[in-house]
Structure 1
Amino acid sequence: MLAAFEGWNDACQSATNVIRHLLGRYEAREIRHISCDGYYDYQVSRPMLCRVTGRPRIIWPQTTFYEIALAPDLRIYAQLAPEPNYRWREYCRQSLHIADEFDVDRIVTLGSMYADCPHTRPLPIDVSHDLDECGRSCDCGANDGEDGYSGPVGIPTVLDDMAREQSFDTTSMWVSIPQYTGNDDCAPATLALLRRLGEEIGFDFDEGDLPSLADAWKAKASMLLRCSDQLADYVHHLEREWDRAEAARKAASADPTQAERLVREAEDFLKGL
């Protein structure tokens, strides 16, 4: 079951747009809901007014579960909702009860965050399977270091944690988005998550118009650089950092002991200070 939540965990709506994309490209049906009562602060997650056949109607924030038919013999489930404001433990218990009802054995949470990364390079994707040995999942999109991530978390991490306690397999997937590009929908981030999700479950998703939307988004971001020398210098700095990190990753992959040597050398240097 996929799970994505609007709000703090969903920069540029990139995570929730993965599920919306699947709902638009494949046969899908609503199978369950979680009532909004008791979970939302309506001054934060406000009800929406819409008109159906000319008549006004209030749409309250709610959680919807979908069944999505990817192929005749392959179906997945998806949970889409604004991040709740209250009673997270009870909310997650309800979510996992519904997952268990449909014999789900794996929970995949999706998230997106702003970060210092250039739009001219592949957007970073962080994937963690289950939680780390300290019982934490990376909820910030940062690579796990020796000590892992410590800090505020969102509902995806809480859902991961409680799912693991109930013997579900869990996977957390986060994409990083350049913070200088604004908060409009980021098609490259949605596309990156979709492709990585396909790798995780062994399925080639219909990408629809996401590639062309991603190209348009990159072209718009590049236009920003032509309008600001300061921003261009900043992005060039990010590119150099990205290229250096990529070169280091390739070197470490070619020689796995090299990374350990670098860590030991750095530790010896710090001890000598």
Structure 2
Amino acid sequence: MTVKVVLARRASPAWQGLAVDYETDGFIAAERYFPFHDTRFDRRIPQFIERWNVLSRVSYFACRAELCAIANENLARVEGAVRVDSLQISDIVNNLPPDDMLLFYHDDDDWFSPDLGAYVASININLVDAVVFPFVRLASNVTTFTVTGSMAADGVGKAEAFRYRYCTNNHGLTRRALLKCPDLVEHTDASRAAETLGFVDLHLDRIISVTSKTPCSASWLSQLPESRTGFAKYISRYIEILESIVIPPGLCWAEQPLRRTLDLFRKVNRA
């Protein structure tokens, strides 16, 4: 039986519309993009975004819209994948045969290998709840995360152990897992559920995803300098670090989205 890859994007703001409105009005109410109900997010993020818009040559909203476009172009290259929003998952689960789905939740700026579908197509997932892979974080501290903390094949940067059982976009959930617990959208919730319900994991040493943590990622905004000079240095350092890395052959699919990302941040810093 062939395994079908489903890529389910977690909820996120409509960055393109926000970018257009900000260009027109010069202001976006925080309620339009910040999830005040979600305690995981730093309450200061709206203030950090205001700072970004003062210091950057490209608005925060336009940056996020472009990062989404980069990710969408990458995801479109994942052969045979079904792409949905996370709210559609119940329909997908009910309409696919029992053993042919591997569901990857992801954020709106994540990247996946175009060969993902071909790689998992013949994997036997009948007796597992999740298939777990090492993954790369491309950021100002480039890191390859693995279950043991040792370097993966085609890893880059430093090696570090997973911080959770499942991380942001590195795990494919089977229909079996979703029938046990449908609320697995966030990797922290999925990790807790896996422990409670005794999920069975299959670990494979193949990097199939990248999390791109740029200076405008929500979790990194607190590091934003306050001065224009400091901001310029901060962005330049990010660009220099990622320009200097050597992409291994097995990760060559990440070169194009990385190149586009660096082009974006050169515009952010352009005098």
Q: Which TM-score applies when normalising by structure 1?
A: 0.31
Tell me which structure has the larger Cα radius of gyration: 1
Considering Cα pairs closer than 8 Å and 6+ residues apart, tell me whether 1 or 2 has the greater RCO: 2
Higher strand share: 1
Q: Which TM-score applies when normalising by structure 2?
A: 0.31
